Each structure stands twice: as C-alpha cells, then as structure tokens.
Amino acid sequence: MTDSHRVYEEQGLDAYKDYQISREGEPLKEGFAFELVKKLLSLNNSLNDRPVQVILLSRNSADTGLRVFNSIQHYGLDISRAAFTGGNYPYSYVNAFDCHLFLSADGADVRAALDRGVAAATILPSKKRNSSSEVLKIAFDGDSVLFSDESEKIFKDSGLKAFSENERESADKPLDGGPFRPFLFSLQQIQQAFPNGKAPIRTCLVTARSAPAHERVIKTLRAWNIRIDESLFLGGLEKGEFLAAFDADVFFDDQRSHCESARNHVTTGHVPSGIANE
C-alpha cells in the first residue's frame, strides 16, 4: 500500500479515502510478506483441521479497507477475518484473535505487540528473490529472538571472553525463552501432523554464536523438547549468504545491522526486543 499511503501523507485522510474508493476494483500490488502468507495458507491444503489462520489488522476503516479485501479475493488468499480500526492501533486485537505472530511495517505497532507477549517483527523492504522451494522455510536468530537476551547482555557489558566463559559454565542451564519461542513451538506442532520427513516446513537457527557457546543452545532446545531442522553457528560471519543457501522465505533477527545485511538476500523481519534495541 505504498502508493496509497503516500497519498495519505501528502494530501490527508479525505484524499486517501477518495483514492482507495475510486480504485476498489484495482488490486493492490504484492507486498513483502505476500509469498510468506501464501505459503502459510497452503499448509491447510494438506491438513484436515486447517491450523493456519491469517488475520488482517488494519488502521483503515471498513469503507477504505474494501479495496484490501477485494485484493485478497483477487489473489485467491483464504483470509476471512479482519479488524479495521478506523485509525486506532490494530495491535490491540492481537490477543483477542489469539495471534502467534504479528507482522507489520510499523515499528511502533510491532513493539506494542511484543509488549503483549506476541512474537512480532517489522517487515523490511527487501531485495530478495522468491524462494525456489515449495517448502515453507523460516529462519531465526538465537539470542533475543528464540532465547532471552540474558547472554547477549553479558556480551554487551563485558565482551566476548566473559560471554564465552559464561556459556561454557552454564552449558547445562537452559536459556529462558525469547519472544519467538511460542511461534517456533506452534510451527513444530504443525510439522508433527505430517509423516516424518514429509512436513512442508523447515526451520533454521542462524546465529553468530560459535563453539563453545553452541552447547548451551543445543541443550536448551533439547530441554524445551523443540526440534529445529537446521542450525548454523557462524562465529560472527555475515548471515546473508547462508540464508540464501537455506533458501529462507523469511528471517527474524533482533539486530538492525544483521537485518540490513540479510534483507539483500531474503525477506527479513526486525524483532525490536532485547538489549540491542534498548
């Protein structure tokens, strides 16, 4: 909705309303999360209980939002639930809809959703090419995303040596969960509905950690009884090329510098949580 949002910013609400209503029959262009949403919805084609629901939360009124619903129908997306808030904050409804993931281009809304205990990320403009696979592939950073920022605080405050020593000494102590732990668990529940090796979802941990800090991560996932399909311990290497090799549909990271690198290769969501975003 880049073009219509520009009308709103430059000409005001009345001009925006006229712009949207006059183009109700003109489908909106695909956004940065379009392919991700399409693949998520396609999971329902193979499962009887249709576990994936995508909900539209919008600051539009129902009047101006009609173009959005017409576009959803144009692209054949199975989305039937929506909240048009008429200028109010759409994140207010994330808990009422029992959302597991909230995506937006508005960073303030994303922070508010995180404060409500929902995994949330700001989708960044990306230069990515669409994934070549029919399998839904989701990649996560570790600290402050899947895990809490307790170890990252030590790194920020005391440096790499202190961080490595702490992780070695705490190898048998599971990390606390980060904001995306419940979402990863939900993905695993869907994976388990398919026969072994047949699930059309693959998950990947892509972290700057290296040995010996890898051991605590592995044991934490084991303690949570969560399986992740692939794990990349990069020891500070740039993540973009590895994400492209994994062929990710989306990557979630808390650090803007990592996101800026990653979005040249894959659709990227910035997670404004943890010490790196204080």
Q: Please identify every residue annotated as catalytic.
A: 141
- The amino acid present at 219, given as its one-letter code, is K
DSSP 218-257: HHHHHHHT---SEEEE-TT--SHHHHHHHT-SEEEES-HH
C-alpha to C-alpha distance for 90 and 83, rounded to whole angstroms: 7
C-alpha to C-alpha distance for 103 and 110, rounded to whole angstroms: 7
C-alpha to C-alpha distance for 165 and 155, rounded to whole angstroms: 10
Residue 236 · residue 213 · CB < 8 Å: no
Strand, coil or helix: what is 138? strand
Segments in the chain forming alpha helices (H): 2-11, 13-22, 34-42, 62-74, 107-115, 150-158, 160-169, 181-191, 214-224, 240-246, 256-262
Token digits for 6? 């520009």
